[in-house]
Amino acid sequence: MPIVTVASPKGGAGKSTASIILATELAHAGAEVTILDCDPNRSISIWADRGTLPPRINVRSDVGESEIVKTLKQQDADGRVVIVDLEGVASRLVSRAISQADLVLTPMRATTLDATIGVRALALIEEEEEALGRAIRHAVVFTMTRAIKSKQHTAIEKSLRGQGVDIITPPLMERAAFSALFEFGGDLRTMPVQGKMEPAAENASAFAQAVYNRLVGKGL
Amino acid sequence: MSDKPTFSIDLDSLKTRRKDTTPESQGRVDAAGEQHGFVNREPNRKRGRQPSPRVGQVHAKVMPNVADEIADEAKRRGVQQGVIIEEAWVLYKNR
Ligand SMILES: Nc1ncnc2c1ncn2[C@@H]1O[C@H](COP(=O)(O)OP(=O)(O)OP(=O)(O)O)[C@@H](O)[C@H]1O
Ligand SMILES: [Mg+2]
């Protein structure tokens, strides 16, 4: 069971949105997916209650720092993926969820502030790798990006790459369909048309595929 | 929009990998977190007895024998004296 921990101490970076897109795309492609809602604000649970959960997805909520390691161990099974959505804070729960991850995904808006705060997650991962004596694969995904890359985006991307950070392509573009996930629940296929659906669906799928490739150890 | 998956997943390749969950390693993880400001942020769970919802008051002077009897009955049943008064009130309303 690959565990994907979605973590950034920056609030509103797009963690829950990325979690839902990843979960629904992987489930659509045939994987069993469990999302652990570890955010006391319960974004994922709100999404789950809004509409019908797509096939092969289940959600567990209210997982706190004393349960996280045990819960992840219980969810252990081949052929499924567990996605951990966390609150946008620097907490011990985040640090514990990272320790059990096969892949840590750090969503980041392409702004200096988001990058500065998001990088704290990367520093923590490095420290945990040392504490555990194993490599923890991690990648940044830019979120809410525009068709035309801002100068800031280009500069941040260059700086991260320069530090050897794995950056997922494509980024998650700013799309009405993505923000509407919380309004309608379900996935991109079940919601009423929001803006341009085709490019949103392509973006979601290509993003999920890029994450999947990392989970099965295929090329960067 | 097509309903067909745009990529296929090889379920066999989604393998479980062993993670270190020993208390020692978790201790090291917590320490690493603390060093980077990732600290315990959970509200402390309330310990002990929850506060009573009985916050209303009546001001009742009664004859000493009635006071004694209510006190004895409450003690016998292990409830607050207010519970006896609440029950008496229900009987009174339904009389
Ligand atoms: N790619 C996107 N396109 C459009 N809107 C987006 C996108 N990603 C996120 N949003 C919107 O931005 C807001 C914050 O996103 P989200 O809740 O996913 O962030 P978060 O990192 O989970 O926040 P928190 O730290 O509070 O948990 C939401 O209103 C969401 O709908
Ligand atoms: Mg969230």
* Residues forming a β-bridge with A33: A57, A81
In our burial notation (b when 16+ CB lie closer than 10 A, e otherwise), range A205-218 reads bbbbbbbbebbeee
A220 part of a folded domain: no
Domain of B69, in residue numbers: 64-94
Domain of A203, in residue numbers: 3-215
The rounded distance, in Å, linking the Cα atoms of A170 and A123 is 24
- pTM higher than 0.80 for the full model? yes
* Residues forming a β-bridge with A85: A6, A37
Query: What is the end-to-end Cα distance of chain B in Å, rounded?
Result: 69
B51 part of a folded domain: no
Read off the CATH number of the domain in which A31 is found.
Answer: 3.40.50.300
A191 part of a folded domain: yes
Residue of A17, A111, A144 with the most ligand 1 atoms within 8 Å of its CB, for mutation: A17
- Which chain B residues are closer than 8 Å to A86 by Cβ? none
The closest-lying atom of ligand 1 relative to the alpha carbon of residue A17 is: 18
Q: Do B38 and A124 touch (CB under 8 A)?
A: yes
pLDDT tens for each residue of chain A, 220 residues long: 699 999 999 999 999 999 999 999 999 999 999 999 999 999 999 999 999 999 999 999 989 999 999 999 988 777 789 999 999 999 999 999 999 999 999 999 999 999 999 999 999 999 999 999 999 999 999 999 999 999 999 999 999 999 999 999 999 999 999 999 999 999 999 999 999 999 999 999 999 999 999 998 875 4
Tokens of B66: 């009635």
The rounded distance, in Å, linking the Cα atoms of B86 and B90 is 6
B5 part of a folded domain: no
B77 part of a folded domain: yes
For residue B84, what are the contacts with CB-CB under 8 A and spacing of at least 6?
A: B70, B73, B74
B74 part of a folded domain: yes
- Model ipTM? 0.90
Q: Does A197 touch chain B (CB under 8 A)?
A: yes
Cα-trace Rg, chain A: 16
Q: Does A126 touch chain B (CB under 8 A)?
A: no
Q: How many domains does chain A have?
A: 1
Q: How far does Cα B71 stand from its chain's mean position?
A: 30
Q: Do A127 and B35 touch (CB under 8 A)?
A: yes
B17 part of a folded domain: no
- Which chain A residues are closer than 8 Å to B44 by Cβ? none
